[in-house]
Each structure stands twice: as C-alpha cells, then as structure tokens.
Amino acid sequence: MGGGPNKPELVIKGKRTDGRDFNELRPIKITASPLENAGGSAYLEWGNNKVMCGVYGPKEANPRHLADPTQAVIKCRYMMAPFSSLSEHGRSGPNRRATEISKVVKEVFENVVMTKEYPGSQIEVYIEILQGDGGTRVAGVTAAAVALATSGIPMRDLPYAVSVGRIGDHLTVDFNMIEDNYSDSDMPMAIAPRNNEILLLQMDGDLTKQQVLDGIQMGIDAGKQITEIQRNALKAAYEATTK
Amino acid sequence: MTMDAMDTVKASHIRTMIAGNAREDGRGAYDFRDIKLTAGLLQNAEGSAQAQIGNTTVLAGVKLDIEEPMPDTPKQGNLIMSAELLPLASEAYETGPPSPQAIEFGRVVDRGIRHGNCIDLESLFIEDEKVWTVFIDLYVLNYDGNLFDAGTLAAMGALMNTKVPKVEDGEAVREDRTKKMKINNIVTSTTFAKIKDKIILDPNGDEEMAADCRLTIATDGEKVKSMQKGKSGGLFKSEIEEMLGTAFNKHKGLKDILESSQV
C-alpha cells in the first residue's frame, strides 16, 4: 500500500480504473460442490480472483492431543498458489502473511460452525488461491462459507466477507489489485448477515473514526448482494441433485 | 487453544464478574494496568526499550544493517519486524517454529508503526543501492495478556531511542552512534476485549482467555492506522464506535509515557 514511485491514477472522471462506481463490487460467480472427494467445496470467481475451497470432516482430531473434548477444532489453511500472481513464481507453502490470514479466517468459522455438535473432532477448511487479483482473503472466506454449507455441517449463519478501502477522499468497496497496491487504506471484514455481527476485521493505512464506521456500513450494504450470490449457488447445487 | 479444567473454572468466574461490571484486579472497564517503559536498556543494540503492562513484559531491540533498498522504494530504508514468544514467558509457549500467534503479534505491531509512518525511512537512504534496514525484534519475556499494546509501546520506545551508526566507505561504524534516527510520528495501540456484551480495555491473561473476542486499534491521535480483531466472537458497529473513541482518548497518556521514557 502507498505503493512505489509510479502511482497510477486510480480515479478517472469519477470512475475507478475498471469503470466501477465506488460502491460497486466486481462480478462474483460461485459454483457449489465442484469437487468429488471433499465433504464440501466451492469454486469462486470474484473479478479476476479464482479460488477453490474444500472442506473435510468432522473427523477424528489429529494429532490426538490437540482434540478438544467439548467441541470440534477448526483447522484452516489459506494459501496462494506459486503461479497465482502476475509477478515471479511464488514460494510454495504458507508464508507469514498466509499464516496470519489462516488464523483470522479460522476464527470466523469458529463463530458460525456449531462446533459443540462434534466434540473431539476436527473440521478442515482449505482455501487455495489459484489466481489473485486483490481481496483474496475476503474471496476465500466467502467461498469457504459456501463450501462448509455444502458439507452439511450445521452453521448459525452463512458469513460473507468484503473489503472497503479509501482512495483519496473516496471510501471504496472491493479493491482490485492495482487499487490494493496504490490506495491509501484497506479494511477487510467478514460479517454474519443475520445480525450484521463483524467476525473478521483488519485495517491498515489511514482512516478517520467516521471513515471506519462509514466503511463498515458500506461493507454491510455491499454484502446483501454477496449473500444472495452465495445462496443462489447453494440453491443451484441442490436443484442439480434433485433433477 | 484447548482449555483445561482450571481454565474453564477461571473463565467462567471472570465472565460472571465482568457481567457484574467488576474486574478481578479492581480496575474500571477502561483502565490500563500500571505501565512502565524503560528505553535504552541495551548498549549493543542501536535502540531498545522494555514495556511492562501489569505482568506482561515485552522487550524490543533495534538493529540497523546496511542493505539494498526494496525495488519499489529505492530512496528509502527498510523496516522488518519480527516477534518471538519465548518459552520462558509462559507455560503455554513452546520451542519450535513461530506459532500463528507469534506471527500475528509481529505483523499487527508492524502495521501500526509502518502505516503510522513512524520512522522517517527517507532519512535512512545512504547512497544508490545502499540504505539502512531497521530490524525490530519483539521478545516476549512474560505473558499476562495484551501483547499488542505492550509490543507497540516497546517497539515505538525502542525506535525513539535508536541511534544511526556513522557510515565510512560504505560500512557501518557502530562505535560511532551519535545521530538519532528521525521519527515522524508516534503511534500507540489500545486493545479491548469483549465478554458477553461488555467491553474492557487492556485484558490480562485470564481475561483474554475468557473473552469472546478482542480488537486492537493503533492510532496517532488523528487517524486510525491499523486494526485487528481476534478470537471468534462477533462485534457490532456500535461497539467498534465506542472502542475507537476510547482508543483516541487513551493516545495522549500513552504518548506521554513514550516521551518521558526517552530522557
């Protein structure tokens, strides 16, 4: 963020570089249950982000000493594929950034998954970023929620995630990669749509108190559309099995 | 983290107390524990400070090395932050590769200081292809909750205390350190915990264990510079608003502690 010396214009004639308005999401497409072996899965395209998510479990916790006798343990791995970015070949395996994201994403699903139903077990959530174009963690959460739902594991809610940032004076929904690299602030969040409870919140950059609050509201407003896309994906997968 | 029987009893006791607006140690909801900050306690490091918030102790050491600049910032020094949860700091910490908690801790402190533009990175340019890299290492010596605020105080205190070595023929002369590193901005961090519908500031270790979630807010008194939510509980917008207000109110007191540690 803040970016290098060659900062491009991010706002041209009141529109963003890709022609969107400030409160406009990129196109989102979700396919529920694309994978055969995983207990639940989802494939998501969010702008140029491409994310595959698979869920395994509940199954016996491994290693055994990490089992919690009162509830299921959720394990989450977010990872960017070495070929996922436009720049050079990435290192394989999770780096520090991925480790942190895996942790905060896990905490989202610890909230909504009814873990008390499965004491002593583990539920594995794998988020693989096949192509990254800004906002991969929010794309990953949105996909993982659908994957968990298709696995049949009971959840209190179907969370979504979205990011709101600032370009100059404009609060802006859903940065693409260029905006992500050169904007002034970014604030990813995950939300439970049932009561607008915020389950993931991170922010860096430079925002006033009011901009933080307005940004959260902007995320909630954009979320209505994301929730609908998630639900339609689940509906389509269900209808396909009943035909 | 799995809780053992003792933790479960403790957590339920704390949750009952907080529900009745009381805290184990008698503090008000928005009171910090006693804070002590000692700057310049190490002589070989270019900068150092140790922060204590109650029984949480974090030591920050700063080293400066001459390195190449990052390709996208050829005229600026580099900042690299890392954190160690030392096994001597808590029964719960183990040897081995850094845990997700350690990585999160280092990255959250890093973000506040980086996005607060605390270090004048342009003043760390030496010549083409040569800049100072600022290594900040956070060492947790004793854990009793709220690592984030103690870590930010220690890191900020150490940076304000950092002296840049003289450069001769492109090499550092570490014996000659008279020039203070230029600091542009002072960022402080405040961490809140939510237990049921109550919000408290500066959770101690037991309160952190019992909490539904926490939120860390870094600010320079004017703007919010970074935030990080942790644990699985949810937050409402109105609660975030209240925490933001308190974070701004607490900034001046923390800044005073940082400034008076430097004499």
Task: Give the Cα separation of B63 and B105 in Å (integer).
Answer: 19
Give the closest residue to B137 by CA, choosing from B118, B154, B115, B162.
B154
d(CA A36, CA A54): 10
The string of pLDDT tens digits covering residues A121-178 is: 999 999 999 999 999 999 999 999 999 999 999 999 999 999 999 999 999 999 999 9
DSSP 8-state secondary structure symbol assigned to residue A227: H
Give the gap in angstroms from C-alpha B231 to the nearest C-alpha of chain A.
6
* B234 contacts A204? CB cut-off 8 A: no
Q: What share of chain B is helix, strand, coil (3-state, %, to 5)?
A: 30, 35, 35
- Higher local confidence (pLDDT), B95 or A205: A205
Residue A152 lies in a domain: yes
Given an 8 Å threshold on Cβ–Cβ distance, is B237 in contact with A216? yes
CA distances from B75 to A81, A242, B55, B64 (A): 31, 62, 41, 16
CATH code: domain of residue A209: 3.30.230.70
Q: Is B56's pLDDT higher than 90?
A: yes
User: Which chain B residue has the Cα nearest residue A200?
Assistant: B229
Nearest-by-Cβ selection for B100 from A1, A99, A220? A99
Give the closest of B231, B234, B240 to A192, CB-based: B234
Q: Please give the residue of chain A at the shortest CA–CA distance from B97.
A: A96
| Average pLDDT of the residues in B144-160 | 98
Summarize pLDDT for B16-53 with one digit per residue, the tens: 999 999 999 999 999 999 999 999 998 889 999 999 99
Say whether residue B229 is in contact with chain A using an 8 A CB cutoff.
yes
Partners of A164 in the β-ladder: A173, A187
Chain A positions touching B98 (Cβ under 8 A) are 96
- Report the DSSP beta bridge partners of residue A186: A165, A204
How many Å apart are CA B103 and CA B81, to the nearest integer?
10
pLDDT of residue B30: 98
- Chain B nearest-CA residue for A70: B2
The answer to whether B107 contacts chain A (CB < 8 Å) is: yes
Task: Flag if A209 and B248 touch (Cβ within 8 Å).
Answer: yes
Any CB–CB contact under 8 A between B244 and chain A? yes
* Contact by Cβ (8 Å): B59, B131: no
The answer to whether position A154 is within a domain reads yes
Examine the pLDDT at B2 and tell me if it is beyond 70: no
β-bridge pairing A121-131 and A73-80: parallel
Q: How confident is the model at residue A32 (pLDDT cuts 50, 70, 90)?
A: very high
- How many domains are there within chain B? 1
* pLDDT at residue B198 in the model: 97
- B74 interaction partners in chain A (CB closer than 8 Å): 5
Who has greater pLDDT, B174 or B156? B156
CB-based contact B2 A68, cutoff 8 Å: yes
Would the CB atoms of A196 and B226 count as touching at under 8 Å?
Answer: no
Q: Which domain holds residue A146?
A: 25-238
B166 near A CB under 8 A: no
B107 to A100: CB separation less than 8 angstroms, yes or no: yes
Burial class (CB in 10 A: 0-12, 13-18, 19+), A48: middle
Please check whether residue A3 lies inside any domain of the structure. Answer: no
User: Given this model, what pLDDT does residue B213 score?
Assistant: 97
Mean pLDDT to the nearest integer, B151-176: 95
Q: How far apart are CA B40 and CA A66, in angstroms?
A: 41
**Helices of type H across B161-226:** 205-210
Contact B235 A196 (CB under 8 A): no
Which residue in B has a C-alpha nearest to residue A6's C-alpha?
A: B72
Decide which of B208 and B44 is more confident: B208
Alpha-carbon gap, residue A162 to B169, rounded angstroms = 51
A contact residues 37-56, partner B, Cβ 8 Å cutoff: none
pLDDT for A167 equals 95
Does residue A5 have a pLDDT over 90?
no
A78 part of a folded domain: yes
B253 has a pLDDT exceeding 60: yes
Q: How many domains does chain A have?
A: 1
- Cα–Cα distance, A164 to A139 (Å, whole number): 13
Helix (H), strand (E) counts: chain A? 4, 11
Q: How far apart are CA B119 and CA A1, in angstroms?
A: 16
A192 close contact with B: CB closer than 8 A: yes
**Residues B240, A212: C-beta atoms closer than 8 Å:** yes
- Alpha helices by DSSP H, listed for chain A, are 96-112, 136-150, 177-182, 209-242
Number of A–B residue contacts, CB under 8 Å: 110
Does position B1 have pLDDT exceeding 70, yes or no?
no
pLDDT tens, position by position, B110-132: 999 999 999 999 999 999 999 99
Residues of A in contact with B235 (CB under 8 A): 197-198, 201
Q: What is the CATH number of the domain that holds B47?
A: 3.30.230.70
Cα within 13 Å of Cα(B78), Cβ side: 18
Residue B257 DSSP one-character state: H
With respect to residue A201, please indicate whether it lies within any of the assigned structural domains.
yes
What is the percentage of chain B residues whose pLDDT exceeds 90?
Answer: 89
Average pLDDT over residues B180-203: 98
pLDDT reading at A84 higher than 80? yes
Mean pLDDT (whole number) for A113-127: 96
pLDDT at B34: 98
- Counting residues of chain A whose pLDDT is more than 70, the rounded percentage is 98
The DSSP output letter for B162 is -
Question: Which residues form the domain of B164?
Answer: 5-260
Give yes or no for a contact between A212 and A203, defined as CB atoms under 8 angstroms apart: yes
Choose the closest CB to A4 out of B73, B231, B235.
Answer: B73
**Rounded Cα–Cα distance for residues A164 and A187 (Å):** 5
CA distance B174 to chain A (A): 31
Residue A4, domain member (yes or no): no
pLDDT in tens, A35-71: 888 999 999 999 999 999 999 999 999 888 889 999 9
B232: closest chain A residue by CA: A107
- Residue B112 and residue B118: Cα distance in Å, rounded? 9
* Beta strands in chain B, from DSSP E residues, in sequence order: 35-39, 47-53, 56-67, 78-85, 125-127, 130-142, 163-164, 166-168, 171-173, 179-180, 188-195, 198-201, 213-219, 224-230
Distance from CA of B14 to the nearest CA of A (A): 20
Q: Do A183 and A172 form a contact (C-beta atoms < 8 A)?
A: yes
pLDDT band at residue A87, thresholds of 50, 70 and 90? confident
